[in-house]
């Protein structure tokens, strides 16, 4: 079984998550200011101080049949980008945002003869991502089926 996650990250030392939320009209999945005390959501986690401000919104599908992953990646990207339809100004131009990117995370299993998986980010998606002022970061991790 696999997982596909597409998340938009906005980061910055002066980032004000409330201002970003008000500007975009979108509630974040996670957000905090630089210097805010945080505790991870796992038992026994230690408290730490956030090194930079963060605001995120994302889409994910799990569990996925591994063969569906190449088809689901563009669908999830489209669903996420639709949240920003009509936005004229790039996200990296919002006050306090120093780093803005779309993160694509893919986890799954592969058949030995497959060696991996492929997905396509369409020309239209790349144009939307660019207009939003976003870089693209991808992470893939596949384990061999037993």
Contact call for residues 102 and 129 (beta carbons, < 8 A): yes
Task: Find residue 143's DSSP bridge partners.
Answer: 109
CA distances from 3 to 76, 104, 129, 140 (A): 11, 11, 22, 10
Domain boundaries, the chain: 2-144
Contact call for residues 58 and 30 (beta carbons, < 8 A): no
- The reported pLDDT for the residue numbered 38 is 87
**Cα separation, 59 vs 11, whole angstroms:** 18
Give the containing element (helix H, strand E) for 23: helix 17-24
Task: Find residue 140's DSSP bridge partners.
Answer: 106
- The reported pLDDT for the residue numbered 111 is 58
**Cα separation, 66 vs 74, whole angstroms:** 15
Weakly modelled stretches of the chain, pLDDT under 70: 110-117, 145-146
- The reported pLDDT for the residue numbered 41 is 79
């Amino acid at each position: 079984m696999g997982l596909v996650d597409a998340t938009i990250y906005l980061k910055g030392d002066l980032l004000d998550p409330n201002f970003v939320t008000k500007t975009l009209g979108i509630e974040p999945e996670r957000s905090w200011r630089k210097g805010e005390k945080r505790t991870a959501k796992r038992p026994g986690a230690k408290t730490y101080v956030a090194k930079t401000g963060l605001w995120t919104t994302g889409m994910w599908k799990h569990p996925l049949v591994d063969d569906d992953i190449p088809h689901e990646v563009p669908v999830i990207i489209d669903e996420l980008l639709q949240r920003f339809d009509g936005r004229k100004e790039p996200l990296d131009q919002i006050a306090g945002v120093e780093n803005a990117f779309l993160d694509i995370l893919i986890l799954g299993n592969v058949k030995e003869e497959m060696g991996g998986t492929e997905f396509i980010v369409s020309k239209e998606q790349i144009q939307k991502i660019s207009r939003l002022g976003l870089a693209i970061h991808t992470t893939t991790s596949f384990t061999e089926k037993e």
